[in-house]
A and B are shown apart, each in its own frame.
Chain A
Amino acid sequence: MNTHIPPVDFGRRMLVLRRRRIAVRLQWRSVVVCAVLAVVIAGAAVLALMTGSYALGPGQVLAALTGRETGIVHDIVVEWRLPRVAAALMFGAALGVSGAVFQSLLRNPLADPGIVGFSQGSYTGALIVILVVNGSYAQLVGGALLGGMVTAVAVYVLAYRRGVQGFRLIIVGIGVSAMLGSLNTWLILKADLDQAMSAAAWGVGSLNGVSWNQVAIGGACIAGLLLLAGVLGRPMRQLELGDDAAASQGVRVSPARLGLILVGVALTATVTAASGPIAFISLVAPQIGRRLTRTAGITLAPAAFVGALLCLVSDYLAQHIAPTPLPVGIITVILGGGYLGYLLFTEARRRL
């Protein structure tokens, strides 16, 4: 597909990596931004491992990490803190990429996997399991995934009419999401207070109690999907120019779009299954990434890095900022929204 791209002068300094027949064209600024983000992420990860409400010295943490501690100290560092950090990084990256895919695809800065109703659908599924069935955590995960998938498929099918058009998908998605949102509000309204609060806490997404099991399974899924997103994401730039323009450049529009939608939804689904729908990362990470790298369109790698950092920092703050721990989704919203707002503000001032 590479051969169809006409040579373009990008007007920026490019970094071209070649190895046999694969060539990756990278913008210098994107590379630098991603590298800086990676360093900050590493620093935040170390901080998250070292600190917690159970006071441990750096020596103890290191000892635990190298397997020289047993009992509760080992549990805290290796079984509690470490998987939580790993989960925050992976889930954040997954959400960032998933949002980037949707925003690029639908050419709308407000788009995220919520557009096809996935978030509301999975919340409905989870609420039914928690409030109606009073089910276990495994059932909750199953219910959430089922709800999300069924909703996404329903939205896609309802929007399908000789192909799927972006605008129609958005409108159908809004309609279906609104219905499910109402249903969710009603379920919460009818429920016992304890159950309702527990359900609402799930609904904002929390990394409390994340285990190695979830990290391993979720991580494998996310790694595969990110790879797939990288491959499928190549026609994204052309699709952003419009369906006709993309088709004239040799992109098979419908299959490409369907593939990207599936990957985007699957990424969100994986995170939702493990931690609940962590809000807002998929919406703001691509926007922040785009503004940091100053690219014209949405790109995947910066979105992934921003998403990971946002999720990690948010989870750290969620555990330490309030007298009692909060679900991470609350902080991602405040932090992500606040930072994007700041970027918009400075952007608006720059254009004077």
Chain B
Amino acid sequence: MSNTPLLRRGATLAAALMSASLVLTACGSDGDDTGDKAATAHSDKPAETRSVTAENGTVKVPAAPRRVVTIGNTGLPFIDLGGKPVGVTEASDSDLDVLPKEQRTAYEAAEIIGSSGGEVDLEKLAALKPDLILVQFSSKDWDKVGKRLEAIAPTVSWGLDTEWKAFADAIAEVGNVADALSRQKTAFKEKVAKIQATYGKIIDTTSFVDVSRGNWNDPGTFYIADIGCSEIARDDIGLDLPKAAEGKDPLAYASLPFEQIRGLSKYDVITYPVDADGVPTKPFKPVVETNTWKALPAVKSGRALGLFCPGNNSYGPVNRYLDSLDSALATLSGKQ
């Protein structure tokens, strides 16, 4: 790292080190925050820097980064917070399809520098002259190209298992988009509180199960979702949803054959994935079409609810999920 001039450590700053590797700190470089940002923006040396701690150690990043490149899963969460990256790695069509229009524009305005984390065009990345690189991909990819990224610009890296709220906090902090984050967080808290207040009785007395089917699922199989959006419904809202035993793989990792749709009859309410228009998602359609599904008590009595989950890696999509959950629960309360 000694031959990477951009990473020279400021000796004066003693960043408060966090015990957990995910936790990230930022300390303004003493005092003159309000100073001459515009004046220094074009000079070679960013006048204002701060130290942040992430999985790749303590990194000095510009206080107001102007040319951000996102690699791996950092792209859409950064854009969700209003960030405008100059370079991104390709996002999947299914993610892009549910993106709000202005976010999609921001994504499309950025240069594509690679398809997946490990296969980044480093020279193209260097040519973009970024002043900050945000990375989330597998540790083996980091071992391969991490040093080179750090040679190009200050690089902040998170592992794939970073919890989404901590991840949003971290990205907002490093990417200097904390205002948007606090707005989103407020909205999130309000929505959660509203759902809990309005449907308190249903939440307390009803047993739920969230089922889903992904593109990767073998034909004839589905899974009980206990990660992703339903984790939010369970842990933040408090819905009574099944959960894997401590230390075990999530239930979602087991592909259940359609035969086991029968077993869903023991739950009061079933939730399943739908797209923005409320139609069952393409992968899930085969489940809805089985006779066994149609014969389920919950389905017959209208207690099978479609939920729209546009993503669960940042507050924006999660808030849209909560809206969908809100209106789904509203149809239930009419039946009580």
Partner-B contacts on A (CB < 8 A)? 52-55, 71-72, 75-76, 79-80, 129-130, 134-138, 140, 189-190, 192-195, 197-198, 201-202, 206, 208-209, 211, 319, 323-327
Contacts and interface: CB of A to CB of B under 8 A. Distances in A.
Given A134-B161, A137-B143, A194-B72, 6 more contacts: A53-B123, A72-B152, A79-B151, A80-B122, A80-B123, A209-B145
20 contacts: A52-B123, A53-B123, A80-B122, A80-B148, A135-B140, A137-B143, A137-B144, A192-B160, A194-B160, A197-B116, A198-B118, A198-B137, A198-B138, A198-B140, A201-B118, A208-B144, A209-B144, A325-B114, A325-B115, A326-B119
Interface in B227-257: 253
Nearest to A72: B126
Contacts of B120: 208, 325
Interface in B100-151: 112-124, 126-127, 137-141, 143-145, 147-148, 151
B145 A324 contact: no
B127 A53 contact: yes
A324 B151 CA distance: 21
A136 B121 contact: no
A76 B160 contact: no
Interface string B138-176: 111101110110011000000011000000000000000
Given A52-B123, A209-B145, A324 B118 contact: no
B90 A324 contact: yes
A130 B216 contact: no
A209 B118 contact: yes
Given A134-B139, A198-B116, A198-B137, A319 B121 contact: yes
A321 B127 CA distance: 18
B305 to A, nearest CB: 26
Given A189-B216, A324-B114, A71 B5 contact: yes
Contacts of A208: 118-120, 122, 144-145
B202 to A, nearest CB: 32
B145 A198 contact: no
Contacts of B118: 198, 201-202, 206, 208-209
Contacts of B144: 137, 208-209
A201 B116 contact: yes
Given A201-B119, A326-B119, A194 B124 contact: no
B116 A54 contact: no
A75 B145 CA distance: 13
B119 A323 contact: no
A347 to B, nearest CB: 36
A32 B28 CA distance: 67
A54 B143 contact: no
Contact of A138 (B122, B137, B143): B143
Contacts of B145: 208-209
Contacts of B143: 136-138, 140
Contacts of A55: 127
Contacts of B147: 211
Nearest to A323: B112
Contact of A130 (B73, B114, B140, B148): B140
Contacts of A52: 123
A43 to B, nearest CB: 21
Contacts of A326: 115, 119
A195 B161 CA distance: 11
Contact of B73 (A136, A194, A209, A319): A194
A319 B121 CA distance: 8
A195 B119 contact: no
A327 B141 CA distance: 13
A198 B137 CA distance: 9
Contacts of A206: 118-119
Contact of B138 (A72, A194, A209, A319): A194
A249 B99 CA distance: 73
A195 B114 contact: no
Interface string B63-92: 000000000110000000000000000100
Contact of B119 (A71, A137, A327): A327
A134 B142 CA distance: 12
Interface in B153-204: 160-161
Given A54-B127, A208-B118, A209-B118, A194 B137 contact: yes
Contacts of A323: 112
A76 B126 contact: yes
Nearest to B3: A75
Contacts of B113: 324
A11 B261 CA distance: 74
A189 B219 CA distance: 13
B215 to A, nearest CB: 9
B151 A72 contact: yes
Nearest to B90: A324
Contacts of B116: 197-198, 201
A225 B135 CA distance: 39
